[in-house]
Structure 1
Amino acid sequence: MSSSASIVGTGESPYTRYPVPGTSTSSIIADAVARALANANLSIHDVDGFGVSSFTLGPDHAIDLAWRLGMRLTWLMQDTNGGASAGGMLQHAVRAIEAGDASVIVLAAGDVMDRDAFTHLVAHYNSATEDHLAPLPMSGPNALFAMQTTRQMQALGLERSDYGQVVTSQRRWASTNPGAVYRNILTLDDYLAAPMVASPLGRYDCVPPVTGADAVIVTADERGTSGPRARILAVTASYNSDDQRGDGLVTGLADVSPRAWELASVEPEDVDVVSVYDDYPSMVVAQLADMGFVNPGRDMSSFIAEKIATHALPVNTSGGQLSAGQAGSAGGMHGLVEVARQLHGQAVGRQVDARIGVVSGYGMVLYRHGSCANVAVLEAV
């Protein structure tokens, strides 16, 4: 059962490690929106719905940005759920279109993530961070996911070299993506020799912060466009799945993925391209397993070697955040843009033969691990 909505345009404001002085969050999101509208052959005057996610947009809000962009709207939302924000906004946008609240919706996310912004974000992410994590001698969630990675290694019999194959595979994809910040080929020896950040996590296991923004255009199918479409077959979401009592080895995707496959009338074996939220390689492994890409009982190390490292299963074909960079709250939207581009046939330099694409979102660290997760299934039409 598919929805009556499709993604018809994508845009990305170029990612950069060091933004030009004076760069604002509003300006990069506006740039991504303009690129997405141009890609869809639409104008700002066609837009009647707008959703935005950002950590650094303040003191402005969604309505302030909509006004600055010249939008007149009948639907508006602002999502604060980081890596899960793209899927969350997409789910709401589909419902809004089905309800007749809007017919052309722009979803955008982005952040200026310079040193000062990143330092402030990791210290004041939420009250759990301020009260219990920030006082510890560590930076951000690295130590939390180092412990999660250690548990996963023990549970699945993985070695650092297995995670290295995930990272280096994504870097090979990034080498063909002109939008990726880190494009130089990374060897397994390079990966293993990198300095430790929080054992067993090395430098290349931790997502690099960058500045940038992403946007997609979602329209009602009956509106019609002349360009390619990625029909939204299903979007399902999970919030607070483990009440922050879990060990991080299983995400909320385990609960909601079966429903997504049922709604979309496809199976993991039908998928041609997938983007998973990759703040750490262990989370790539966890989400692929939770969505059913790894058959129960199969050795995870062999799955990584046979499917991910060989590109037999195209995973994070943009290079993912580990190589393209994490533009704050745009991290989740980056994967949605990439899969839509693949289904549109517009992933220049890295195009795969794709009819069915899947995007997972994951994020919002509280006392432990990500409390928000979602999955979207798309089809090229």
Structure 2
Amino acid sequence: MTRRGYEGIAVAVPVTVPYQRFSTQGAPWFLGQVLAALVKQAGIAKDDIDGLCVSSFSLSPDTAVGLTQHLGVSPRWLDHIPMGGASGVVAVRRAARAVQAGDADIVACISGDTNHVDSFWQMLGSFSGFARDATWPYGSGGPNSMFAFITAHQMRTTGAKREDFGRICVAQRDNALGISHAMFRKPLTLDDYMNARVIADPIHLFDCVMPCAGGDGVLVMSEQRARDLGLPYSQVLAATERHNAYRDDPIMFRGGWAVDRDELFGMAGIKPEALDFVQFYDDYPVIVMMQYEGHGLCGEGEGVDFVRSHTLTVDGTLPTNTSGGQLSMGQAGAAGGYLGLVEAVRQLTDSPLGKPVPDAEVGLVSGFGMITYDRCLCTGGLILARA
């Protein structure tokens, strides 16, 4: 079956509630700040928003529908996407379909999470009963040990070295310099990376994201509506999502992007080589390396050679995570799944927080989220183009 394209859909008004290491404000406050910024920057009334898509981990025990009362909105289309790093891609894909179907005219896709002193540990404890029950008897838990497992396997099977993951982290730090709300704004050298303390071998300090609080969001509408409102926007060329791919693999060494990449690029009418930049979910650098492979920028197992042969900074041969990614900006809970999305829209509407990618016309946003005991279950891809 041929899937319908995404013609006529615009993504506009990328907003960020500046990240902060800790906050006493709750998730509804951050989500409300995102919505308020969307309304203000779009120059519309709050009642003009008739679709709402929400992503948040710390919103619980409240819900997306409860949030409608708290924020004073009355959408005729509502979705809750608790898919972590895949949330932004999936939110835009589903919002685009709602606009195409006439179920909503303007959809606010919002994400936000708080970070109290102990909220990260509370989230880990309730994040996944499947993962908790599988790992607790072995004295293990949380993402560091799981991604150490995946990283070690990648190193054994592909010849990747710590220096290769370091190249990703160092390049992304360079991209983040000058962005005021990045958690890390000091230059990072490869020596700094290599000499950092061990967290969960082979993962060291700079392989790990910094939990923080913040929020991000965009508006999804028709291109005609965006033009009528006088809004700069990016076009949706293609989008896919895939869950629980390669479920028979004994350990995660690939992601679900590969299942749908031919359809993704075919729908967009381009080849991977045409991309001017990529925004990859990056809770750990090994996942960035996997996404080069998963989206066909190189062959399976060749991600390490790709990283060695390309420069990943904004002015490089393939700019990657041009705002610094989570490894430099921080991980604001589920908003981490929106970080690449808002940066892609900014690059394509000439409003990046940091350095612009020269002559950027088309970019890829890649989502990845919801780790269990040995892999992440949600993947997705979104190709956006300059209007």
Q: TM-score range by the shorter chain?
A: over 0.9
Displacement, 1:357?
Answer: 1.2
1:264 and 1:246 mapped to 2: Cα distance? 33
Q: Which of 6, 9, 15 matches 2:13?
A: 9
- Summarize the Cα distance change of 1:146–1:189 in structure 2 as closer, same or farther, 3 Å threshold: same
Partner of 2:244: 240
| CA deviation map 1:201-249 (0-9, x unaligned) | 0011011111111111111223233121111111101111122644211
Q: Which residue of 1 aligns with 2:332?
A: 327
1:1-381 → structure 2 map (5 Å cutoff): 1-19=5-23, 21=24, 23-223=25-225, 224=227, 225-243=229-247, 245-295=249-299, 300-301=304-305, 303-308=307-312, 311-352=316-357, 353-381=359-387
Q: 1:261 to 1:324 in 2, by over 3 A?
A: same
* Matched position secondary structure for 2:338: helix
- Equivalent pair of 1:10/1:35 in contact (CA under 8 Å): no
User: Displacement of 1:180 after TM fit?
Assistant: 1.2
How far did 1:305 drift? Answer: 4.4
Aligned residues of 1:105 and 1:217 also touching (Cα < 8 A):
yes
Deviates more, 1:39-48 or 1:119-128: 39-48
Contact kept in structure 1, 2:158 and 2:301, CA below 8 Å: no
List runs of 5+ in structure 2 lacking aligned partners. none
Give yes or no for contact 1:123–1:130 (8 Å, CA) kept in 2: yes
Q: How many residues align?
A: 379
Counterparts of 1:347 and 1:189, CA distance in 2: 29
Deviation digits for residues 324-377 of structure 1 (CA, Å, limit 9, x no counterpart): 001111111111111111111100431113110110110111231101100000
C-alpha distance in structure 2 between counterparts of 1:115 and 1:256, whole Å: 40
CA distances 1:138-167 after superposition (whole Å, capped 9, x unpaired): 441211111111111122211101110100
Question: With structure 2 as the length reference, what TM-score do the two structures score?
Answer: 0.93
Q: CA deviation at 1:129?
A: 2.4
Structure 1 residue runs without a partner (length 5+): none
2:91 maps to amino acid: M
Contact 2:6 2:96 in 1 (8 A): no
SS at the partner of 1:307?
Answer: coil
Contact 2:20–2:181 (Cα < 8 Å) also in 1: no
- Residues 253, 375 of structure 1: 8 Å contact kept: yes
- Give the conservation status (yes or no) of the 8 Å contact 1:10–1:37: no
Partners of 1:289 and 1:221 in 2: CA distance:
32
